[in-house]
Structure 1
């Protein structure tokens, strides 16, 4: 079964370029393109894709607002597109439920890999820049509220091994790397990750990492 994708970007050349790259893959189908956030949301409702590649800065409705609507109203996974690796809007996009982000100058192979990873239910956490973004999210929120870090008691539902899995997720480790660190199988790690998400009511690994920072389980700079 093909991975169904909607590509949303207000620049036609960027949009068509990404679509051509993805359409060339035997397991990916671009079901629609959109030139702004309104069209993107409508395309998701009409075509029920697996993944939405969504530009942050677009007319009528920006990518941030569109991401919030798509993530709250569907099971479609959202990957934000940006020209800046530290774009402030990315912080809000992750809170809105986006599964990660890509720079617009992403390599062809990395674009295809990202779509497959997100469609499989994972998130784009490998690049160190994403970890920096998540850490900065938490620092900004705490500075704005002038409150101390929430207590880790919010993680009481987790077993010791699940909490350790969450800690390693926050360090940006892949399932295979976590398995090696904990001396368990990848299947066991997947089970732990699934339990963490389920018990904490989280959508994906990105939100799990944010929760690890928010609760103080991991502190900025320690990961």
Structure 2
């Protein structure tokens, strides 16, 4: 297995996708509306991104801000969105929901998995708000397609979550810890050496790829700086 670290970059559209790819991104997380921390994009947006780049694209399934899937009507809408994206050719996804007690919303997760046709997917930063991270991982251990956790180790970001991330990296391969650790959320270049030394092989950036802010497109130069740091 290559030791090259995976670099995932948030994209909002095809322009971002091309810029991220040219800077050295290995994969995209495609979202809409970063003011709400990333929601499900339109089918047409996915189609344009898929036509523009050849790297993997993980599409966000999330219709409202926060980590609840909402009521039955909201979950139905989420399932329809997933079906539409699958019909458009999407085959990798990002989602993750908690119930009112901070436990994984297994009903919603299983409904989505049922329409994803074996697609691989990331459980996103809802894990950072979970009542019990370890228990969540054990509950989700056998859910089909789950191969990655996107986490900062803490709701406050990587600065605060570094001890949790290092502890989880050390448990790789244990039951519930087979999935890749994709570190993101307040991630800085200064964190990279310690995380790499601990065996973390996947990194996720959003704002760090846009020095001019979310109103401006991804900067290929900023992505290239991360690529260089991960390859060092």
Q: What is the TM-score when the length of structure 2 is the normalising length?
A: 0.33
**Structure with higher helix content:** 1
Q: Which structure exhibits the higher relative contact order, with contacts defined as CA atoms closer than 8 Å and separated by 6 or more residues?
A: 2
TM-score after normalising by structure 1 = 0.34
Structure number, greater radius of gyration: 1
